[in-house]
């Protein structure tokens, strides 16, 4: 791999150094002799590269994501093994290490979904959706009292994911995006608050009497309606369109 003679930065097949702007000596010598400027691949520059990647100056987005996923996976594996061994040696058993291990597994699931499954949207959405419930159920199993996990945490998690999915579909099917997306989010938050209080009352076996969630919803819904009005009114009014410079 050629280096810049001025600053020592690796310049590869570039004609000039990206740092100082100095010319690549191989291109300069080839031009002076009248030959076609070619670069002979050195160690690590053959086809496939040092890590088996294509010999390109700028790797593709997919290659960068795969490399990031691989690095993150190795880092999580090493960290998990370290935490596991420390817990085993110090406590003579497995106890507190289960909490970070469950968290690391959750992070790995989401990293796999976002970094590797971009071209498989259905599988990506499935993995993103099942990771939080599995994480919450695993925490309930680790604690030993899993009733709160499947009776309280799981329903709230599924409700939040359902609301997020609806908001995503509305945003995707909307032609003109703007304040209407924020209105959808506020309406979803209002619905989520009502659901949270409902599930808490059911879990505690209390009478179902919505209180604070109704107050929260009444504060959020008028704002959402106002944002929708502004969004659609500006789109149909030339004067407001000029006023807001949209």
Q: Where are the domains of the chain?
A: 1-58, 61-144, 146-246
* DSSP collapsed to 3 states, the chain: CCECCCCCCECCCCCECCCCCCECHHHHHHHHHCCCCCCCCCCCCCCCCCCCCCCCCCCCHHHHHHHHHHHHHHHHHHHHHHHHHHHHHHHCCCCCCHHHHHHHHHHHHHHHHHHHCCCCHHHHHHHHHHHHHHHHHHHHHHHCCCHHHHHHHHHHHHHHHHHHHHHHHHHHHCCCCCHHHHHHHHHHHHHHHHHHHHHHHHHCCCCCCCCHHHHHHHHHHHHHHHHHHHHHHHHHCHHHHHHHCC
Residue 222's pLDDT is 95
pLDDT digits (tens, 9 = 90+) for 134-161: 999 999 999 887 788 889 999 999 999 9
**Residue 241: pLDDT over 60:** no
* pLDDT band per the 50, 70, 90 thresholds, residue 210: confident
For position 245, what pLDDT does the model report? 55
For 85-144, what is each residue's pLDDT tens digit? Answer: 999 999 888 889 999 999 999 999 999 999 988 788 889 999 999 999 999 999 999 988
Tell me if 102 sits within 8 A of 139, measured CB to CB.
Answer: yes
Q: How far is CA 31 from CA 5, 28, 38, 101, in A?
A: 17, 5, 10, 58
Confidence of residue 233 (pLDDT cuts 50, 70, 90): confident
| Residue 63's pLDDT band (cuts 50, 70, 90) | confident
Better-predicted residue by pLDDT, 103 or 6 = 103
Check whether 52 has a pLDDT greater than 60. no
pLDDT of residue 62: 83
Q: So what's the pLDDT on residue 50? A: 44
Top-confidence residue, 35 or 93: 93
Cα separation, 224 vs 230, whole angstroms: 10
With a CB cutoff of 8 Å and minimum separation 6, the contacts of 244 are: 234
**pTM over the 0.85 mark:** no
């Amino acid at each position: 791999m050629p280096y810049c003679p001025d600053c020592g930065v690796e310049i590869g097949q570039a004609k000039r150094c990206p740092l100082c702007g100095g010319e690549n000596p191989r291109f300069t010598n080839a031009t002076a002799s009248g030959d076609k400027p070619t670069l002979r691949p050195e160690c690590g520059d053959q086809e496939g590269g040092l890590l088996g990647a294509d010999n390109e100056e700028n790797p593709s987005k997919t290659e960068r994501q795969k490399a990031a996923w691989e690095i993150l996976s190795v880092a999580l594996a090493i960290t998990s093994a370290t935490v596991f061994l420390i817990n085993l040696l110090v406590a003579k058993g497995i106890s507190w290490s289960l909490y970070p291990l469950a968290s690391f597994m959750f992070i790995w699931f989401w990293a796999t979904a976002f970094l590797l499954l971009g071209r498989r949207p259905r599988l990506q959405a499935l993995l993103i959706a099942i990771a939080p419930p599995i994480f919450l159920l695993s925490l309930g199993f680790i604690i030993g009292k899993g009733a709160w996990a499947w009776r309280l945490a799981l329903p709230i998690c599924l409700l939040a994911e359902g609301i997020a999915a609806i908001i995503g579909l509305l945003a995707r099917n909307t032609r003109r995006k703007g304040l209407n997306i924020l209105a959808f989010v506020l309406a979803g938050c209002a619905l989520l608050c009502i659901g949270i209080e409902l599930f808490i009352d059911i879990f505690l076996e209390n009478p179902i009497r919505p209180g604070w969630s109704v107050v929260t919803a009444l504060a959020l819904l008028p704002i959402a309606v106002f944002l929708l009005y502004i969004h659609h009114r500006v789109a149909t009014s030339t004067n407001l369109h000029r006023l807001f410079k949209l």
